[in-house]
Amino acid sequence: MFSILRKNENPVLLVVIATGISSVVTQLLTIREFLAQFQGNEFVIALILFSWLIQGGLGTILSRFFCERTTPSTNLLGILSLALAALPALQILLIRELRDTLFIHGSSVGFYPTFAFIFLTTAPYALLIGFVLPYSLFVLRALKPEYPGSYIYITDSLGDVTGGALFSFFLVYLFSPLQSVFISNIFLISATYYLLNDSGLRPVRIITGAGLALFVLLSGVLFEQKSLIPPEGKLVYYKESKYGRIEVHQDREQFTLVGDGVPLFSNQNTSKAEETIHYPLSQLSDPKQILVISSEGNIMEELEKYHPESIDYVELDPDLSDVLFRFGLIKKIRELNVINQDGRAYLEKSDKIYDAIILNLPEPETYQINRLYTDSFYAIVKRHLSSAGILSFSMEGYDNYLAEPQRQKISSVYNTLSRHFKNVLLLPGQNIYFIASQSSLKTDIPDSLNRKGISTSYVSSYYYGNVTDDRINQLKELIDKSTPINTDIYPQLMHIMFMQWFAKFSTSPFVFIIILTALSLIYLVCITKEEFVLFSTGCMAMGTEILVIFAFQIFYGYIYLKIGLIITIFLAGLLPGAWIGSRYGGNKKILLVITDAILILLTGILIMAFKQVGYSISLYAFLLYGFIVSMTCGYQFPTALKLTGDSNRAVTKLFSADLIGAAAGTLLISVVVIPYFGIIWAATALIGLKLISLIIIATKS
């Protein structure tokens, strides 16, 4: 690999590496931007990756058509690379500005408009990135016709790994999105400058081109803060933490915490704070040890009324807890002990016993959050509660009618909780409160508070009108005991949440599924056997990465650095795999069959590991596993390329197949198979796909 960098194609290869860096950083930033502008659920994440990969595949195909009609030129590659360097800044600013131009400010957006918006705003960059990679190869082949296609694949992988590591371990800690865009694209501008300078283009033209790209990037940095200012109120705090975007908006005397574009709570949050604290704590005679996982505005003032000995407040993101104290969104009281850790991971390691555990969680729209609503999690919680201890949390409720998807959601959580707690009380309202304990539970909360001499402004005066016995009984009667429980391995709640999202916008994903299935079938019928192998490999690589991250989070919690490491390993494995594949090998057909068999075996091992060892799988095992899988996938690209003949046409078709497969894997595994069938079946589906690939290639004449 490194020997090729010494040859005269160096400038082009440097551009390819820099493009890899730019593309991965841009992709990660684009995902974060969309999550801050649209619904932060797993569906949206999958749609972004899907659009990105599909358009990358289309760009690759376009590149081939283009080169069949024109002679590849270094100058055009240079111009396109400069455009690539400038586009990420424009893309991010465009997403921010168009969001409120095309949709009503302050409103959330349904599935189809979200998909259309994602597809259109990412199209220029994603198509171009897909175009440039094979075009670089064609430029090299114009100089040296026998130049191996796999070298471009390897060089691009090197750029991807560098970009992934640069963002995950450096940029995200120190820089805002448009500053990160600026830094990551400086490499591309420099490499392109080197390329164009080498090609003999006039310096003024090069400087003007590079200058324009630099101008756009700099403008992005300068306009960044302006592009975030809310129309109502002021932006008084903004930070991109490694977990997402944190903003504080001020409107008159009110400070509102906004996480990833969604207002979470304000400092004028009396009703919710009282419900959150007094519904559970009024049940206890003398709560001393209290655990709060994640927060809600103004709760500490209410907690203080019980004079607890200690309050452990677990918050994953240290930047978030800092900002809550800084703006008085929660009060720093003497008994408070802040622990910056994943809530589930904390409970798994801690020995402490609590009188009350109060969870303030978002709805389970992502796998990361779903882990805090599962059967295993409630078992862990139970181990940390005293004999009369209480677990309490709330979910989005209703005013006067419990809609069907919500009924299923509430039923699933109720059924899951009931497996661990003798008594589960549901209190209806805009938020439905779940109070669970081994001891009996009272519904007359104001009466309990009166007896304790605790005064409240909301609960004491509104409870009897809003939470009547009739409403409590109506809700209880609506619980469907047959709704399956939510587990780590079968995350039932995820697909219920998807259904709820679709119901809210009166849409259904079926049109999308039908169109996608039809297009996939047409594509699969048209491709060659080798392309199918790489299609399934792309699907496998992406699907396994999602599964491994999902499993790691279940067992270890959301640990940013370690998940960043897993993603980097998945990118890094491709590099040696592709390098070995391009250098060594005998019978290509047999090698593809063997590597397919290895991938099947590896996925089988993953299923066994989930079932047998589960919670004792070490981080190193996850890393080693990811590396071997991606190395095997990486090996298949040059091997398939040798089998098809290393023509321009073959290279672009295989590139496309890999990207389209990855797109299909993302969508299928994360939003269809895992939520509906669980992770074991997701892994089994990948085995099935690879088995088809193995049979197809083995029977190739």
Partner 1 sequence: MNIMNRRRFLYCTALILSAPGYSFALWPSDEKKGILPGPDDIRGKIFKGDAPDKPSKWSHEGFLYTKLSDRKVVCGICPHRCVLSPGDRSVCRSKANINGILYSLSYGNPCSVNIDPIEKKPLFHFKPQTKSFSLAAAGCNFRCLNCQNWEISQAKPGEVRQSELFPEDVVKAALKSGSESISCTYSEPISYFEYMIDIARLAKEKGLSMLWISNGYINKEPLLELCKYVDGANVNLKSFSDKIYRKLNGGRLEPVLNTFKMLNDKGVHFEMTNLVVPGYVDDPEMVKRMCGWILTNLGPDHPLHFLRFFPQYKLDRLPPTPVSTLENFRSLAMKEGIRYAYVGNVPNHEGMNTYCHNCKKLLIERKGYLVPAYNLSGSRCKFCNTVIPGVWENRKITT
Q: What is the dihedral of CA 334, 339, 340, 342, to 10 degrees?
A: -140
Shortest distance, position 123 Cβ to partner 1, whole Å: 22
Helix 74-102, helix 10-37: angle, nearest 10: 0
Strand partners, 382: none
Q: Which is nearer to partner 1, 65 or 215 (CB)?
A: 215
Tokens of 162: 């560098």
Burial of residue 462, with CB atoms counted within 10 A of its CB: 0-12 exposed, 13-18 middle, 19 or more buried? middle
Tokens of 348: 């798994």
Q: Which is nearer to partner 1, 106 or 604 (CB)?
A: 106
Give me the residues that bind partner 1 (CB under 8 A), please: 100-108, 197-198, 200-204, 207-208, 211-212, 214-215, 218-219, 221-223, 226-227, 229-233, 249, 251-254, 256, 258, 261-263, 266, 268, 270-271, 398-403, 406, 430, 457-458, 460-462, 464-466, 468, 470-471, 504-506
Shortest distance, position 185 Cβ to partner 1, whole Å: 14
Sign of the alpha-carbon torsion through 42, 43, 47, 50: positive
Distance between CA atoms of residues 198 and 201, nearest Å: 8
Distance between CA atoms of residues 495 and 482, nearest Å: 16
Number of residues in the chain = 701
Distance between CA atoms of residues 26 and 92, nearest Å: 9
User: How far from chain centre, in Å, is Cα 588?
Assistant: 36
Yes or no: say if 137 and 17 are a contact pair by the CB < 8 Å rule: no
Shortest distance, position 362 Cβ to partner 1, whole Å: 12
Q: Which is nearer to partner 1, 218 or 580 (CB)?
A: 218
Yes or no: say if 149 and 653 are a contact pair by the CB < 8 Å rule: no
Q: Decide the pairing of beta strands 336-339 and 310-314.
A: parallel
Sign of the alpha-carbon torsion through 149, 151, 154, 157: negative
Instruction: Return the biggest CA–CA distance within the chain.
Output: 88
Shortest distance, position 396 Cβ to partner 1, whole Å: 10
**Structural element, H or E, at residue 692:** helix 679-698
Q: Position 260: which residue type?
A: D
Q: Which is nearer to partner 1, 103 or 512 (CB)?
A: 103
Q: Which is nearer to partner 1, 208 or 587 (CB)?
A: 208
Q: Which is nearer to partner 1, 398 or 681 (CB)?
A: 398
Shortest distance, position 462 Cβ to partner 1, whole Å: 4
Shortest distance, position 224 Cβ to partner 1, whole Å: 11
Shortest distance, position 106 Cβ to partner 1, whole Å: 4
Tokens of 399: 């005013």
Q: Which is nearer to partner 1, 242 or 471 (CB)?
A: 471
Hunting for tokens 């600013």 — which residue is that?
A: 93
Yes or no: say if 74 and 199 are a contact pair by the CB < 8 Å rule: yes
Shortest distance, position 235 Cβ to partner 1, whole Å: 9
Shortest distance, position 243 Cβ to partner 1, whole Å: 19
Distance between CA atoms of residues 287 and 347, nearest Å: 19
Yes or no: say if 624 and 606 are a contact pair by the CB < 8 Å rule: no
Yes or no: say if 262 and 243 are a contact pair by the CB < 8 Å rule: no
Shortest distance, position 467 Cβ to partner 1, whole Å: 11
Shortest distance, position 406 Cβ to partner 1, whole Å: 8
Distance between CA atoms of residues 449 and 463, nearest Å: 12
